[in-house]
Amino acid sequence: MQVYHSEATKLRRARTELHDGQLMTPFECPERVDLVLARLRDSGVGPVAAPREHGLAPVLAVHDAAYVEFLSTCWDEWQAAGHGGEAIPTIWPTRTMREDRIPGHVGGKLGYYALGGDTSISPGTFEAAMASKDVALSAYEHTASSGQPSFGLCRPPGHHAASDQFGGYCFFNNAAIVAQRALDDGHARVAILDVDFHHGNGTQQIFYGRDDVLTQSIHGDPDQCFPYYLGHADEKGEGPGLGYNVNYPLPPGTDYATWRERLELALAEISDKQASLLVVSLGVDTFEGDPISSFRLKSDDFLDMGRRLASLGLPSVILMEGGYAVEEIGVNVAKVLQGFQGA
């Protein structure tokens, strides 16, 4: 399977993540990319190609222009303000305050454009996010021109990024950018299937009022799991989008037998809604050994997952999202792709 990868995705090397009340080295680290690449090579999954640059136009097709401008200037403004550490929001326009005015100070803009305090902005973050969406778009273009599946080794991930908010390690929503590009190329309906452990809140939000993108997510129940405030089963889309968002929340401890039943429902929905392109938001943090997640999938389950995703027979773009058990994420991604290829 054609793989896209850019060394520039490693330009984000944040030093701090506020996790469990402590500043830690982020789980979402550049080593993830090398571990996946190494195991893809060992498994004979390839070839690996560098992406072509796509500029900002496809980003602006799904993200707010002022948000993108903020991401591009945040680190410089943070430094100019004399702050010593990485840019981490500490206050938000929550329901007791106003959100109709965007502050001028970088500290105020940070909270306005952030959905959480877990994700710092550091030098190279914007450049890595640009490379990540170029990887995704190049994978899409390969699939569009050949009909063959492709894998984009995106990093940072994208599915938590909303139209004007970053967080959950995400800045640009790579899957949404690809789906919108596919619509602009003439697809009538695109399906995004998010199999990451965490709910794809950004993807849901971007397309919530629309019927041209079917968004589905299988994830840890937001009653217990990040991002907590979105991802319930009663979120079904609105207006013309009613029926075009489907959530499958599952409790902590869920194993593959139960997870697979939701996958089958999601696949049937994709056929029913007659999507002509499948975009998979592939997080492998459903793995039993993942340090920040609580499903119980085993490595061999990822092979079966890949086979079932392929059974739709649709042109498919598979994009990397989460997965933090660093030794095993390469194995598990390789298994999904091998399963998809018919292994």
Residue 157 as a binder of ligand OKP (CB under 6 A): the answer is yes
Paired sense of beta strands 17-19 and 22-24, if any? antiparallel
Three-state secondary structure call for residue 152: strand
Contacts with Zn ion by CB under 5 A: the residue count is 6
> How far is residue 121's CA from residue 227's CA, in Å, rounded to a whole number?
19
In the list 58, 111, 222, 283, the residue contacting ligand OKP (rule: CB under 6 A) is 283
In the list 20, 100, 234, 327, the residue contacting ligand OKP (rule: CB under 6 A) is 20
Residue 198 as a binder of ligand OKP (CB under 6 A): the answer is yes
> How far is residue 126's CA from residue 7's CA, in Å, rounded to a whole number?
14
Which is closer to ligand OKP, CB of 168 or CB of 249?
168
The item of ligand OKP, Zn ion, none sharing an interface with residue 118, based on CB under 5 to 8 Å by kind, is ligand OKP
In the list 134, 196, 235, 301, the residue contacting ligand OKP (rule: CB under 6 A) is 196
The least CB distance from residue 260 to ligand OKP, in Å, is: 20
Which residues are registered as beta bridge partners of 208? none
Length of the chain as a residue count: 343
Q: Which residues, 6 or more positions from 24, have their beta carbon under 8 angstroms from its beta carbon?
A: 16, 17
How far CA 274 is from CA of 130, 143, 170, 269, 279, in Å, comes to: 31, 18, 29, 8, 14
The least CB distance from residue 106 to Zn ion, in Å, is: 28
> How far is residue 170's CA from residue 289's CA, in Å, rounded to a whole number?
22
The least CB distance from residue 202 to ligand OKP, in Å, is: 10
Residue 342 DSSP label = T
In the list 152, 168, 202, 220, the residue contacting ligand OKP (rule: CB under 6 A) is 168
> How far is residue 309's CA from residue 193's CA, in Å, rounded to a whole number?
9
Binding mask 318-337 for Zn ion (x = CB under 5 A): ----x---------------
Residue 198 as a binder of Zn ion (CB under 5 A): the answer is yes
How far CA 220 is from CA of 227, 261, 292, in Å, comes to: 9, 15, 11
In the list 226, 259, 302, 340, the residue contacting ligand OKP (rule: CB under 6 A) is 226
Give burial (CB, 10 Å; 0-12/13-18/19+) of 147.
exposed
Stretch near Zn ion under the rule CB under 5 A, chosen from 39-47, 70-78, 198-206, 333-341: 198-206
> How far is residue 334's CA from residue 6's CA, in Å, rounded to a whole number?
18
Helices and strands of the chain, counted as H and E runs = 10, 10
In the list 17, 77, 134, 196, the residue contacting Zn ion (rule: CB under 5 A) is 196
Q: Give residues 284-303 in contact with ligand OKP (rule: CB under 6 A).
A: 285, 292
Binding mask 147-186 for Zn ion (x = CB under 5 A): ----------------------------------------
Q: Give residues 302-321 in contact with ligand OKP (rule: CB under 6 A).
A: 321
Residue 220 as a binder of ligand OKP (CB under 6 A): the answer is no
- Asked if omega into 123 is within 30° of 0 (cis), the reply is no
Helix axis angle for 125-146 and 65-80, nearest 10°, is 150
Residue 51 as a binder of ligand OKP (CB under 6 A): the answer is no
Active site residues: 160
Residue 134 as a binder of Zn ion (CB under 5 A): the answer is no
Q: Give residues 269-328 in contact with Zn ion (rule: CB under 5 A).
A: 283, 285, 322
What distance lies between CA 79 and its chain's CA centroid?
Answer: 28
Interacting residues with ligand OKP (CB under 6 A)? 19-20, 118, 157, 160, 168-169, 196, 198, 226, 283, 285, 292, 321-322
Interacting residues with Zn ion (CB under 5 A)? 196-198, 283, 285, 322
